[in-house]
Chain A
């Protein structure tokens, strides 16, 4: 384990425990205000938590005990070997591209010529060697972010922090920068904050979901997004998530809804013990909506109040508290008078996955 962190910020009600193994990239996802940026700020040394402890490769970054039983340690940012890559490239406007990248080595006392050599190497690594002589003002957003990556890596950090590094980029250039990031992050310890499932799938070995200042789920991207344990992850993955308890051969979601799980459903939850918390995931595209209960016995039917119709390009999302369905605009128009009254949401049992709500084993670390 190269990096461990325990963190408590009372003012923002954040309590987190995070570990990053050598060479591992961890993606942190969560709703706005969940404490993601605070997390990076604390690791980088820019935000001071109330209490907590962090260690990187055997060096204590900070140790702020909740009680006064031991002396507190607070290492300033420049002594942490932790580089931060922000959403904006934030290249120093008065320095050339090459000098920007050479900034870290120069600050570490490397002679100017050698620092430039290192910088040139990193510029090559991010496919930006030809930009060495330019000023930051002469760069496009994608180019600037490449340089910022090279600059962060040139300081040879023990841990690299990335705060939504692709969020400010054009849709057209983001994929190329993402590929470049995947290459340079491959064997590097890094924490990346993102709101993009694609970032998590392509860049991260492990995903951590933070909600309201707590870690609510973690696992490989596939585990977290295919069998989500949080409404937030389910939403990111575009899945309906119904949580409840196993009672006999049904998943009891609430007083009015129970779903039979013995007919054609698949997933590890089929074998769950009586009374175990159980989740069911199904894509909205597999769900259909009708005013009368369908007669097809292979369908699972859930009765719920139609809350609203939300146009999404070439389809319309029909929402209830329990389930959403994607239907054609024509069908949505027919459903419009039914808003506010109960309708039937139906999906084939083969389209749903049932799994235990609590992840039984943590990843091997």
Chain B
């Protein structure tokens, strides 16, 4: 899509000017934050006990949430893209609701589902399982908000790939499971990976639903964003240092997603 240099681009100058303002709007705050970092104290600040605990908890829960997103999101995308049933459109809108829902609202909804007196919480309570305000709750909150990212990107990819290869595979005698394993999934693997990376990023940044549903207990539910919010009051230097850490992680993730999200191309033949 990169325009060839010298070819007609047709973008008016005022559009370029507005785009520049928009870009500055995104980049300036990042620059402002970097300028505010206390570099002398940076390493001790990000390696303090509470910081490391928050970072590790964040990575652990986000990875778990990403795994759950793949396990449930891939089948959801397949059902939405490949089947046709009454109420499918409504179901799709509802499933994608967490994308537009304020995370705090999501947290409250989860509380009334898995909380002590929630819909399923009472059943879990009878079994002696306490979900709210535990690390499990953090994973559930992150999965709740991150799942639509994977479903959305994968469903689009499935529709783009179409069913022609799958039909041919079936006429060659492959069962639906074999077709899924050997044709469909390899074809949409880039979308699964980029969807997973996006879900991971969303899980890592989760704040509102986590705070509402899981609380903020150091080492148990206090993830990096919660730690940053907490430190902002008492120790702005730590908050800024940890924020920078999250920015770096985010940049790495965006790069990864961009790489894996590229359209299907295998020039290396690494698979055979």
Contacts and interface: CB of A to CB of B under 8 A. Distances in A.
Interface stretch (B14-22, B39-47, B264-272): B264-272
B174 interface: yes
B271 A94 contact: yes
B263 to A, nearest CB: 11
Contacts of A99: 272
B266 A135 contact: yes
A86 B187 CA distance: 19
Contact of B174 (A45, A78, A84): A78
A262 B271 CA distance: 74
A152 interface: yes
Interface residues of B, number: 23
Interface in A38-59: 44-46
A88 B165 CA distance: 11
Given A93-B264, A96-B272, A135-B266, A107 B164 contact: no
A108 B266 CA distance: 27
B176 interface: yes
Contacts of B98: none
Interface residues of A, number: 32
B95 to A, nearest CB: 28
B173 A108 contact: yes
A324 interface: no
A95 B169 CA distance: 12
A104 B264 contact: no
Contacts of B272: 96, 99, 133
Contact of A90 (B168, B174, B264, B269): B168
A92 B182 CA distance: 9
Contact of B170 (A78, A90, A151, A161): A78
A144 to B, nearest CB: 13
B175 to A, nearest CB: 5
B269 A104 contact: no
Interface in B234-263: none
B93 interface: no
B174 A92 contact: no
A208 B158 CA distance: 38
B187 A93 contact: yes
Interface in B163-220: 164-165, 167-176, 178-179, 182-183, 186-187
A299 B170 CA distance: 59
Contacts of B183: 92
A294 interface: no
A81 B173 contact: yes
A151 B171 contact: no
A92 to B, nearest CB: 6
B190 to A, nearest CB: 10
B216 to A, nearest CB: 45
A194 interface: no
B264 A77 contact: no
Interface string A70-96: 000000111111111010101011111
Nearest to A103: B172
A77 B178 contact: no
Contacts of A353: none
A94 B266 contact: yes
Given A84-B167, A90-B165, A107 B173 contact: yes
9 contacts: A76-B176, A78-B178, A82-B171, A92-B186, A93-B187, A99-B272, A107-B169, A151-B172, A152-B172
Interface of B: 164-165, 167-176, 178-179, 182-183, 186-187, 264, 266, 269, 271-272
